[in-house]
Every structure is written in C-alpha cells, then in structure tokens.
Amino acid sequence: MNDNVIASEKFDSQLRRTLVALLDTMIPANDEFDAPSAGTDDIVSDVVQSMSGDAPTVVGEMLTRLNEKSSARFEDLDTTARWHAFTELQRTEGYALRTLSGVLLQCYYRNDQVLESLGMEARSPFPLGNEVEQGDWSLLDPVKARDPFYREV
C-alpha cells in the first residue's frame, strides 16, 4: 500500500472539512488577483494526495486537536474566530504546521488557476523551454577595458 492511499484514508469527510477550512484560512481567495482559495476542491485533493511519510498522521492529529480546542468545530467558526484559532495553532503546532505548509505551498503554486493568475504558463518547462533576452552586452565594456589582474606565478 503506498503512502498516497494511506493519506487519503487518514482524512474522513469530517476531517477533510476541517482541512478545507484551515487551508482557506491560510490562503483565502483574492478577487483583485483572481487567485483561488487554497480550500478549493482540486487544491485540497492535491494536498491530501501529496502527503507522504508521517505527514498524514501529524496533520490529521493536528486537525483533531484544532477542533478539540475550539468552542465549535473549526469549519463552523466565523472568519474572525477561525483566524484566532489559526493564530493559536501557529504558536503551538510547529512541526505539524510546517509539514502542512510545505505541502500546501507546493500544491498551491503548481495549480493551473494559480499560475494563470500570476501570468505564468501552466506547463512543464520541457519541451518548450523559456525565452530569456540576451541583454545589453555593452555593459561589459568597462570590464573589458580592465588590465588582467590574475596573479602571475
């Protein structure tokens, strides 16, 4: 059984709702930039599928503690209360939150809609490659005018 299957099984529908709300708190949608929330379905699915090693366990346990510490389940809190709970999470859950953050950033910033909102093409670098301007080679003229300065032996 591979790690991804284990990760999917770790998050039942209730825990997944908590995860969606937490990701939406960490990176909410932004209309000005046309940037999606990290809690949208395809990004959440990518996050869950991309967790490996001990990540599903430590993140799942963190989500459970997050719900236990709040007056209601995290996803049922209003925006202000969620932010307060998340701020507390940053103070108490160093390793687990870093683990989730790493996976989230990897998945969010390879998402098609996110890349398009940044004006980037959503594709692999190969085979098309990228354009880079040659630049102004006359900038090198002052260096060319310099005498050799390596040490003679």
Partner 1 sequence: MSKQEERVDVVIIGSGASGAAAAWSLAETRMKIVCLEQGEWTKPNEYPSTTRDWEARHFTEFSISPNRRARETDYPINERNSPIAVANFNGVGGGTILYNAHFPRFHPSDFRVQTLDGVADDWPIDYETLEPYYDENDRMMGVSGLSGDPAYPPKLDLMKPVPLGKTGQALGQGFNDLGWHWWPSDAAIATEPYDGRAEYINLSACTSGCAQGAKASTDITYWPHAIRAGVELRTRARVSQILVDENDMATGVVYFDEDGVERFQPAEVVLLACNGVGTPRVLLNSTSNRFPDGLANRNGLVGKNLMFHPYASIQGIFDRPLDGPNGPGVCIWSQEFYETDLSRGYVRGFTYEIGRGRGPVSTAYTGVFSGRIPWGEDHHQHYRSMVQRMTGMVAICEDLPEETNTVTIDDELVDSDGIPCPKIDYTLSENSLKMLDFSVERATEVLKTAGAYDILTESPIAGGGWHLMGTARMGNDPERSVVNEWGRSHDVKNLFVVDGSLFVTSAGVNPTRTIGALALYVADSMKKRLATLFD
CA–centroid distance for 151 within its chain:
49
State the minimum distance, in angstroms, from the CB of residue 12 to partner 1.
25
91 binds partner 1 (CB under 8 A): no
84 binds partner 1 (CB under 8 A): no
Residue in 14, 33, 45, 69 binding partner 1, rule: CB under 8 A? 33
35 DSSP 8-state letter: B
Q: How many residues does the chain have?
A: 153
Quick one: three-class SS letters along 39-65? CCHHHHHHHHHHCCCCHHHHHHHHHHH
5 binds partner 1 (CB under 8 A): no
Rounded CA-CA distance 45/151 in Å is: 59
**What is the binding site for partner 1 (CB under 8 A)?**
25-28, 30, 32-33, 35, 50, 83, 86, 90, 98, 101-102, 105-106, 108-110, 114-115, 118, 120, 122-137, 139-140, 142-144, 146-153
